A and B are shown apart, each in its own frame.
Chain A
Amino acid sequence: EVQLVESGGGLVQPGGSLRLSCAASGFTFSDHYMDWVRQAPGKGLEWIGRTRNKARSYTTEYAASVKGRFTISRDDSKNSLYLQMNSLKTEDTAVYYCARVDHSGCFSLDYWGQGTLVTVSS
């Protein structure tokens, strides 16, 4: 059974940093691209970034809203995905989801974690 479990959320002050983790199981993690998606309270979904797999040199893509502040990384030996968030702003307050990219060719998100809440407030 595919499982994605996020952790690391919490309360952080503006300007602070936080690192989220996503533990994957039930599939060959190293084969898949992985995305981070967030949802501010009462708002819609926002794609924030992607890491490709080893075959694609672990290259990354980011939304403009987080580029230069957030860094996506992965450790295939630990079946884990990470989101390092620096220079946090109040508008980064959201539930953060990790999601698996379907590698059958359609590049949609076929499995999602349950999410972890990040609150940026003084």
Chain B
Amino acid sequence: DIQMTQSPSSLSASVGDRVTITCRASQGIRNDLDWYQQKPGKAPKRLIYAASSLQSGVPSRFSGSGSGTEFTLTISSLQPEDFATYYCRQHNSYPLTFGGGTKVEIK
């Protein structure tokens, strides 16, 4: 199974900060990686697919990069509505696996 290791597991940041979350795959997954945002009590929402493609309607301050085993999600200027938990997920091979999540909290 492919293990997805997300870091950090949590972070505190201020509005306007640049935030970077990393996801590492235990083996190469090409660009078969997505990023999801989840707010408390809500279903996850797709932000990024194919490692770097922005979901329609998602603000351009969100971006994704990477290929192979290392991927990043960047929020260029954190906004109040961005405080949430973020998950990566690989869909290169079964079983599909999520990262452990990164909780972004207000500093």
Contact = CB atoms under 8 A, between A and B. Distances in A.
Interface of A: 35, 37, 44-47, 50, 61-64, 97, 102, 106-110, 112-115
Given A47-B98, A106-B50, 10 more contacts: A35-B96, A44-B100, A45-B38, A45-B44, A47-B97, A61-B95, A109-B36, A109-B44, A110-B49, A114-B43
A45 B45 CA distance: 12
Dominant SS among interface residues on chain A: strand
Interface in B24-40: 32, 34, 36, 38
Q: Chain B, interface size: which category?
A: 20 to 34
B37 to A, nearest CB: 11
A45 B89 contact: yes
10 contacts: A44-B101, A47-B97, A61-B94, A61-B95, A64-B95, A97-B43, A106-B50, A108-B91, A109-B44, A110-B46
Contacts of B96: 35, 47, 50, 61
Contacts of B99: 44
A93 to B, nearest CB: 17
Nearest to B94: A61
B69 to A, nearest CB: 18
B87 interface: yes
B93 to A, nearest CB: 10
A46 B91 CA distance: 13
Contacts of B87: 44-45
Contacts of B45: 112
B95 A108 contact: no
Interface in B80-107: 87, 89, 91, 94-101
A108 to B, nearest CB: 4
Contact of A115 (B34, B43, B89): B43
Interface in B47-80: 49-50, 53, 55
Given A106-B49, A106-B50, A108-B91, A113 B43 contact: yes
A110 B100 contact: no
A46 B98 contact: yes
Contacts of B100: 44
